[in-house]
């Protein structure tokens, strides 16, 4: 193919048909690259939503654990039970707390366990197939 400079009165040997426009293969490659990019963005969005959901569940669990730790402290102060004694809790408060955990967190469960040294409060749930747990330990 001869490519020549255009000079006045000179006719190029390259046809205009071969210079202008895109070939079908160029359009298909561009479409493929754009599709891969959009699929990657949608996967990134899904991962972001999953991470946000996990953070919300962890925050709910932390709030439930903090709430029960405050209830245990108040109940121990009112009954002057030292070390902190979860047994002094009103059973309806404990049942209400556990019910709210079950309603809020997927496969959620709350536990309160006493020992001579401390009181342990646990909140467990299932996060996308993975067991998660937050434990708060209260010392006198």
The pLDDT tens digits for 42-92 are 999 999 999 999 999 999 999 999 999 888 888 777 766 555 555 567 788
Are the C-beta atoms of residues 71 and 57 closer than 8 Å to each other? no
Mind listing the pLDDT tens digit for each residue in 6-49?
556 655 565 555 556 678 888 899 999 999 999 999 999 999 99
Answer whether residue 22 is part of any domain: no
Answer whether residue 47 is part of any domain: no
Are the C-beta atoms of residues 119 and 84 closer than 8 Å to each other? yes
* Parent domain of 130: 55-138
pLDDT band with cut points at 50, 70 and 90 for residue 1: very low
Determine the pLDDT at residue 85: 53
Give the residue-averaged pLDDT of 98-108.
Answer: 93
Determine the pLDDT at residue 99: 93
Domain total in the chain: 1
Answer whether residue 129 is part of any domain: yes
Determine the pLDDT at residue 117: 76
Give the residue-averaged pLDDT of 112-130.
Answer: 86
Closest CA to 105 of 70, 69, 56, 68: 56
Answer whether residue 2 is part of any domain: no
Answer whether residue 67 is part of any domain: yes
Answer whether residue 130 is part of any domain: yes
Answer whether residue 113 is part of any domain: yes
Answer whether residue 15 is part of any domain: no
Are the C-beta atoms of residues 74 and 90 closer than 8 Å to each other? no
Determine the pLDDT at residue 71: 86
Give just the sign of the alpha carbon dihedral 69, 70, 73, 78: negative
pLDDT band with cut points at 50, 70 and 90 for residue 104: very high
């Amino acid at each position: 193919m001869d490519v020549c400079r255009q000079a006045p009165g000179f006719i190029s040997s390259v046809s205009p048909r071969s210079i202008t426009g895109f070939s079908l293969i160029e359009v298909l490659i561009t479409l493929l690259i754009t599709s891969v990019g959009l699929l990657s963005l949608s996967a990134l969005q899904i991962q972001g939503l999953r991470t946000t959901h996990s953070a919300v569940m962890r925050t709910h669990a932390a709030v439930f654990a903090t709430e029960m730790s405050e209830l245990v402290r108040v109940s121990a102060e009112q009954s002057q039970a030292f070390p902190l004694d979860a047994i002094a809790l009103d059973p309806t408060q404990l049942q209400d707390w556990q019910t709210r955990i079950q309603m809020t967190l997927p496969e959620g469960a709350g536990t309160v366990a006493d020992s001579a040294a401390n009181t342990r409060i646990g909140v467990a749930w299932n996060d996308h197939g993975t067991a998660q747990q937050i434990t708060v330990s209260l010392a006198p």
